[in-house]
Amino acid sequence: MVVVHVTQETYKDTLRLFQDPAHKAAAHYVVRSGDGHLAQCVKERDVAWHAGNWGFNTRSIGIEHEGWIDDPTWFTDVLYERSAQLTAAVCARYRIPVDRAHIIGHVEVPGTDHHDPGEYWDWARYMELVVEASWQHTG
C-alpha cells in the first residue's frame, strides 16, 4: 500500500531530519510544495520507518508532503499532481490497487498517534489524479 503523510516541517528540514540517524524515522519520498520536486530518501525495496506500525512499514511506501495539516495553502496543484504521478507509478510497479483501501492516510494506520494528512487534504481530488495518472502505466 501507499501511506500519505504531511511533514509538519519544511521540505529542507524534513530532509535534514530524515538524514539524522537519531531521528529514527524516514519515508521513502518527500514532495516539495512549491514545485513538486521529489526527493527519494529510502529505496522502495527497503523498509522505511514512516507509519509507526511495523507491519504497515514492511508492506507500504511512505510519501511525505511538505506542509502543515492545518494550513491548506501548502497543498498546491503541483504537489497533488506530482504526488499522484508518483503514487500511480508505485501502484503500477507493485500491482497495488488504486483505491482508498490501499492508498491511505497516516491517520488510518492502526496504533498511530498522527493525524496527517488532515482534514484539508483533498482525497477526492487526489484519488482522481492518481487514477488519471494510472492510465499512463497501463498497457
Q: Which of 9, 44, 64, 128 is catalytic?
A: 64
Classify residue 114 as left (phi > 0), alpha (psi -120 to 50) or beta.
beta
Measured on CA atoms in the order 41, 18, 72, 56, is the torsion positive or negative? positive
CA distances, 63 to each of 38, 137, 139 (Å): 10, 19, 25
> Is 108 annotated as catalytic?
no
CA distances, 136 to each of 39, 61, 131 (Å): 22, 20, 9
Active site positions, annotated: 64
